[in-house]
């Protein structure tokens, strides 16, 4: 009797012959090699909706739930929202689509993608800048994530109640060195735990649950907020323009918020798009992500401003809005403690989904498609980010007087990333795709998997070439105080 197999046709073997002839060793070597190849295979999204939800999660983050309400509150509400909508469509979306092009066209991480599309040694530094930005950004973003987790605990343990001094509570929370570091570490642990599992089994799976939950809970809170007495004053503030707020400064602020809102300029969208196949409609995906972000921003406004106006608070309360003003607002509502806990849970979801994309951008650049290294490198880099973030966590307490260029370390990192690196990187991407890539090849690639008319794609590319760079330069100049 003869046995046919992977290693040819040989006589049937006894167990002793199996080992003595080395067949067992060959099989073991084959299985090991096969498994190793599988682990080295780059991650991919398992579905189109998985990519859209994950990219939307990256874009939404604290930008929509925390930064948009207080920025809109200090810039006139409705006028700011209209400007934000306009600049998101005309400027931020074209740059985001350009990042999608770079990622999917190359199929590489943020650094190697520029190497694949250009022979110049200069352009990969744009990717390196993005990876560095994600590393540093996550180091202090995790501090804010820790505050949010801490407030969830405050809400469920009864520390947030009608008689509490919320200003003092917030000051004590961010100044506490042990608590700040502990909750920052917990936030990073949650982020690492998801990212180490890869794209489809980690990030995509988490976002499939977290993003729908975020939308549902937001709608519930918005409905409750809209039923409060005098809630329509808040709706009017958000939707009825007061044109006295239409100023050059409000325009530039809205433009900066549009960049921040779509998560452009830090290579996260390049990284996420690198896991796509050519069946994904990049143009429609970008629009879906944009409208999700705008919808959540609008919902955040409909949750916060009606409640703020209903109880006589100022909508221009600044960055402390969700930590100091909103607790006071919720405590005036039946079941306010529970509703506030739900709201902060929403903020946790949004913060984590953005953190996933930041860490993934760094990990992808380090492992360079070698998935066998993912788990160990994720733990290592996550730990490094946590350590680098500790001084930022202490910047509101024991290191509050340690300043560089007049800024605490937290504020310095924030300024460097959001005011300098993000616009510089976004400008570089718009020039790279709009002017240095072959126009016909760019349009052809964007047509793959898409039913969008050619004229629309041409309009996108021209917007990327002529409008986006000018707008980015204006934001950059305004940030530096040149205009």
pLDDT digits (tens, 9 = 90+) for 67-92: 888 889 889 999 999 999 999 999 99
pTM of the model: 0.86
Confidence band, pLDDT 50/70/90 cuts, at residue 213: confident
- Among 88, 44, 37, CA closest to 261: 88
Using the predicted structure, report yes or no on whether residue 356 has a pLDDT greater than 80.
yes
Residue identified by tokens 């350590």 is 387
Give the dihedral sign, CA 49/53/59/64. positive
Other C-beta atoms lying within 10 Å of the C-beta of residue 116: 15
Rg (CA), the chain: 25
- The torsion of the CA quartet 344, 345, 346, 352, rounded to 10 degrees, works out to 110
Please write the tens of the pLDDT for every residue from 251-281. 888 888 888 888 889 999 999 999 999 999 9
How do strand 407-408 and strand 403-404 relate by DSSP bridges?
A: antiparallel
pLDDT value at residue 418: 82
For residue 319, the model assigns a pLDDT of 67
Question: Quick one: average pLDDT of 52-66?
Answer: 84
**pLDDT digits 0-9 by tens, 320-340:** 778 887 888 888 878 888 888
CA distances from 429 to 100, 443, 464, 465 (A): 11, 16, 9, 10
pLDDT tens digit string along 431-452?
A: 999 999 999 999 999 999 999 9
On the CB side of 86, CA atoms within 13 Å amount to 14
- Alpha carbons within 13 A on the beta-carbon side of 41: 10
- The domain segmentation of the chain, as residue ranges, is 52-479
- CATH class assigned to 52-479: mainly alpha
């Amino acid at each position: 009797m003869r046995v046919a197999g992977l290693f040819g046709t040989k006589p049937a073997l006894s167990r002793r012959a199996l080992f003595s002839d080395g067949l067992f060793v060959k099989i073991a070597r084959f299985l090991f090699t096969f498994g190793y190849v599988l682990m080295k295979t780059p991650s991919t999204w398992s579905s189109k909706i998985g990519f859209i939800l994950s990219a939307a999660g990256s874009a939404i983050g604290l930008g929509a739930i925390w930064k948009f309400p207080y920025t809109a509150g200090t810039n006139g509400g409705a006028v700011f929202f209209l400007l934000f909508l306009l600049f998101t469509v005309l400027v931020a979306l074209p740059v985001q689509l350009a990042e999608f092009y770079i990622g999917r066209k190359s199929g590489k991480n943020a650094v190697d993608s520029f190497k694949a599309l250009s022979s110049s040694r200069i352009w990969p530094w744009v990717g390196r800048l993005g990876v560095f930005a994600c590393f540093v950004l996550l180091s202090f973003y995790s501090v804010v994530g820790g505050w949010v987790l801490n407030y969830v605990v405050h809400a469920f343990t009864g520390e947030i109640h009608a008689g509490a001094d919320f200003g003092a509570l917030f000051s004590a929370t961010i100044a506490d060195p042990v608590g700040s570091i502990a909750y920052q570490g917990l936030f990073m642990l949650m982020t690492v735990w998801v990212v180490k599992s890869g794209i489809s089994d980690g990030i995509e799976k988490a976002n499939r649950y977290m993003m729908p939950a975020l939308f549902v809970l937001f709608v519930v809170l918005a409905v409750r907020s809209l039923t409060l007495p005098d809630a329509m004053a808040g709706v009017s503030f958000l939707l009825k323009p007061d044109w006295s707020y239409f100023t050059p400064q409000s325009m530039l602020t809205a433009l900066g918020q549009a960049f921040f809102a779509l998560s452009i300029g830090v290579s996260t969208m390049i990284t996420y798009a690198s896991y796509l196949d050519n069946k994904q409609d990049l143009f429609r995906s970008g629009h879906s992500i944009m409208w999700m972000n705008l919808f959540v921003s609008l919902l955040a406004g409909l949750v916060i401003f009606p409640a703020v106006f209903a109880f006589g608070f100022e909508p221009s309360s600044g960055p402390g809005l969700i930590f100091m003003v909103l607790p006071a607002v919720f405590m005036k509502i039946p079941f306010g403690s529970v509703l506030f806990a739900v709201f902060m849970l929403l903020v946790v979801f949004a913060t984590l989904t953005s953190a996933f994309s930041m860490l993934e951008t760094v990990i992808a650049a380090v492992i360079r498609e070698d998935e066998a290294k993912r788990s160990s490198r994720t733990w290592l880099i996550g730990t490094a980010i946590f350590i680098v973030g500790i001084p930022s966590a202490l910047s509101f307490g024991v290191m509050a007087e340690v300043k560089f260029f007049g800024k605490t370390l937290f504020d310095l990192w924030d300024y460097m990333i959001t005011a300098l690196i993000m616009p510089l990187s976004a400008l570089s991407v718009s020039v790279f795709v709009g002017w240095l890539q072959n126009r016909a090849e760019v349009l052809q690639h964007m047509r793959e998997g898409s039913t969008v008319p050619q004229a629309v794609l041409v309009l996108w590319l021209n917007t990327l070439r002529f409008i986006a760079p000018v707008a980015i330069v204006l934001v950059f100049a305004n940030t530096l105080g040149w205009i």
